[in-house]
């Protein structure tokens, strides 16, 4: 992730879809499913659980107090928790909302847990799950909706990704 993909020191890749997968195998299958979209070189990046955890851990350690004004800080905490649980990631540039939805539709059958389109002011959830409730107002004090599957994006310093036994 590049420095320009941060807002107040926290991961915020504006114009990208950030997609989480419970395993490396699912992320690899989803990456293959995106091939028919003929994305330009460099528009799709894959991150292992360890890579994402280390990057987010660094971001959280150096985040500006201003990062708490939006949801970037809470999302970084939730994503860090998922990475600690072994989740893998695809980060895909989406030039418009239509392409973002095509990306989400392509990865959904491969076990994508969440696909979030990072806009300038709004981070939009692109994958609905059965039983999801309407999104509610989030705040730095309240944290994220309970629908963010990590649910427990606390500040525990002892979180480390489990040893990986699947290919990256």
Per-residue pLDDT of the chain (168 residues; tens, 9 = 90+): 444 454 444 566 889 999 999 999 999 999 999 999 999 999 999 999 999 999 888 877 776 665 555 566 777 888 889 999 999 999 999 989 999 999 999 999 999 999 999 887 788 889 887 766 665 555 444 444 444 444 444 444 445 455 554 444
Q: What count of other Cβ atoms lies within 10 Å of the Cβ of residue 97?
A: 12
* Helices (H) then strands (E): counts for the chain: 4, 7
11: Cβ contacts below 8 Å, ≥ 6 apart: 1, 5, 55, 56, 59, 72, 75, 76, 79
Task: Please give the Cα distance from 99 to 133 (Å, whole number).
Answer: 25
Task: Please give the Cα distance from 146 to 91 (Å, whole number).
Answer: 23
Q: What count of other Cβ atoms lies within 10 Å of the Cβ of residue 167?
A: 8
pTM over 0.75: no
Strands (E), the chain: 6-7, 10-11, 16-21, 44-47, 88-93, 114-118, 123-125
* Domains present along the chain, CATH in parentheses: 3-125 (3.30.70.3450)
């Amino acid at each position: 992730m590049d420095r320009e993909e941060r807002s107040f020191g926290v991961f915020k890749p504006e114009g990208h879809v950030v997609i989480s997968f419970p395993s490396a195998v699912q992320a690899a299958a989803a990456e293959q499913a995106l091939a028919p979209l003929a994305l330009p070189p460099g528009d799709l990046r894959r991150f292992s659980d360890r890579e994402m955890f280390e990057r987010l851990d660094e971001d959280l350690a150096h985040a500006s107090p201003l990062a708490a004004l939006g949801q970037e800080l809470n999302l970084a905490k939730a994503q860090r928790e998922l990475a600690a649980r072994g989740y893998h990631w695809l980060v895909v540039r989406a030039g418009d909302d239509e392409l973002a939805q095509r990306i989400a539709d392509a990865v959904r059958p491969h076990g994508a847990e969440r696909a979030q389109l990072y806009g300038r002011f709004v981070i939009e959830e692109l994958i609905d799950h059965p039983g999801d409730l309407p999104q509610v107002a989030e705040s730095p004090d309240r944290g994220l909706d309970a629908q963010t599957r990590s649910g427990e994006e606390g500040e525990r310093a002892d979180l480390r990704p489990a040893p990986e036994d699947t290919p990256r």
